[in-house]
Amino acid sequence: MSEQLQQAFAELLAEAQNIESRLLKADPPLDESELVEGHRWIFSLLGMALDAQVWADSARPRFVDAVGPYRKWGGDNADAFYQYVALDPSLTYRVKVWPGDAAYLSFTVYGGPDDGRNSDRIVGTANDRTMTRAADGGFELWLSPDPQPGNWLKLEPDAVVGLTRDYLNDPVRGRRAVWSIEAINPPPKAKDDAATLARRFRAARTWLREQSMICPVRMPPNTIQPPYPVPRKTVGWAAGDAAYAMGGFELEEDQVLVIEGRSPECAFWNLCLWNPFLHIYDAAYDRVTINGAQVVYEPDGSWKLYVGAQDPGHPNWISTQGHRRGLLWFRWFLPQGEVSQPTTKVIPRSAGQ
């Protein structure tokens, strides 16, 4: 068994090397900034693989940050915190959350294989609009295979992952939500032997391989696809109560992409700029995401967003931080009505002043 453990360990390390080889052979080739970001991305995936597959314990669960302003994984943004927890569908859990200043928060259970492959469907979602608050202003949510009083999500036989989402209109000064989870009927002892760790290393390797195959992502430049709601069968741990739209940009230094649209009433919406690895640029230096509470609206309630390397003199400018090309990602949580497709046009930077 020790030989199997050593082999699983070696294969996990080799997978990281395999991902780098694919980066170096990417077609079209990655530029220097994308190669720098790609190497960081490999370790971002590895960090989440260890948290989600090696350290996670569904019997004594704990939430770990998966996405935050400075932790990048799988579609991060500067307005949100996400936390990840492994679940055992045979157990009963009590989840508590103090919402802080969240404009929107939710807990989603995902179902699928438990061997490191992507969870492929949404089992259930509870958000701050559907749950009943406790007397102290927080929420208590039960997860179990059998009905529970109060807020409850059913754990179906393939339920393996829980993911929190907390979105703040002011992520710098706002108070993030505080989550806790406990298993009510856990087994008395942990299983910790060579076979168990070897299995966890293999799951981490599968996680690395599957996550890395999604990227790098390219989209047609300076366009945005039609918005779409999320079906129950999904890829990438999408939210079940959101609509999304994806696009791309490709700009010269003196050009600006103007995006025009109108958002329906919703709990929260924003636009993020991503590199090909679905990571935002460095939010510590520039605005690289913008949300509905930060946008300066037109008199009729519509909006214009300005994407470019240099400030065109408009308050809705979002910086590409010198990236010539990249991805655009819109999200609307709990939209009340249809989300219309934003329009785009490229203008000289001087025309935006």
pLDDT tens digit sequence for 170-206: 999 999 999 999 999 898 888 889 999 999 999 999 9
Describe the crossing of helices 2-24 and 32-49 by its angle, rounded to 10 degrees: 160
Instruction: Report the half-sphere exposure of 57 (CA within 13 A, side-chain side).
Output: 15
Q: Are strands 121-127 and 242-250 parallel, antiparallel or unpaired?
A: unpaired
Indicate the burial class of 49 (C-beta count within 10 angstroms; 0-12, 13-18, 19 or more).
buried
Q: How many CB atoms sit inside 10 A of residue 226's CB?
A: 10
pLDDT-above-70 percentage for the chain? 97
Q: Which of 302, 282, 174, 209 is nearest to 21 (CA)?
A: 209
Q: What tokens were used for 188?
A: 């008395």
Q: Are strands 151-154 and 93-98 parallel, antiparallel or unpaired?
A: unpaired
Q: Which of 169, 121, 115, 172 is nearest to 333 (CA)?
A: 169
Q: Any idea what the Cα angle at residue 92 is, between residues 90 and 98, rounded to 5°?
A: 140
The answer to whether residue 119 scores a pLDDT higher than 90 is no
Residue 205 to residue 293: CA distance in whole angstroms: 40
Residue 311 to residue 288: CA distance in whole angstroms: 12
The pTM of this model reads: 0.92
What value does the mean pLDDT take over residues 261-266? 96
What value does the mean pLDDT take over residues 278-296? 96
Asked whether the CA dihedral 273, 211, 181, 131 is positive or negative, the reply is: positive
The answer to whether residue 301 scores a pLDDT higher than 70 is yes
The DSSP symbol for 351 reads: G
Residue 332 to residue 341: CA distance in whole angstroms: 12
Asked whether the CA dihedral 69, 330, 292, 63 is positive or negative, the reply is: negative
- Structure confidence by residue, pLDDT tens digits, 128-145: 999 999 999 999 999 999
CB distance 95 to 180 below 8 Å: yes
Q: Which of 198, 213, 284 is nearest to 3 (CA)?
A: 198
Instruction: Report the half-sphere exposure of 10 (CA within 13 A, side-chain side).
Output: 6
Q: What pLDDT shows up at residue 192?
A: 84
Q: State the pLDDT confidence band at 88, using cuts at 50, 70 and 90.
A: very high
Q: What pLDDT shows up at residue 2?
A: 85
The answer to whether residue 235 scores a pLDDT higher than 70 is no
- The residue type of 165 is R
Q: Any idea what the Cα angle at residue 116 is, between residues 331 and 48, rounded to 5°?
A: 60
Residue 15 to residue 7: CA distance in whole angstroms: 12
What value does the mean pLDDT take over residues 41-47? 94
Query: What's the farthest any 2 CA atoms get from each other in the chain?
Result: 69
Q: State the pLDDT confidence band at 333, using cuts at 50, 70 and 90.
A: very high
The answer to whether residue 325 scores a pLDDT higher than 60 is yes
Write the Ramachandran bin of 242: left for phi over 0, alpha for psi from -120 to 50, otherwise beta: beta
Q: What pLDDT shows up at residue 272?
A: 97
Q: Which of 247, 348, 246 is nearest to 306 (CA)?
A: 348
Q: What tokens were used for 178?
A: 């505080």
What value does the mean pLDDT take over residues 141-151? 97
The answer to whether residue 353 scores a pLDDT higher than 60 is no
What value does the mean pLDDT take over residues 323-347? 96
Q: What pLDDT shows up at residue 152?
A: 98
Phi and psi, residue 255, nearest 5°: -110, 155
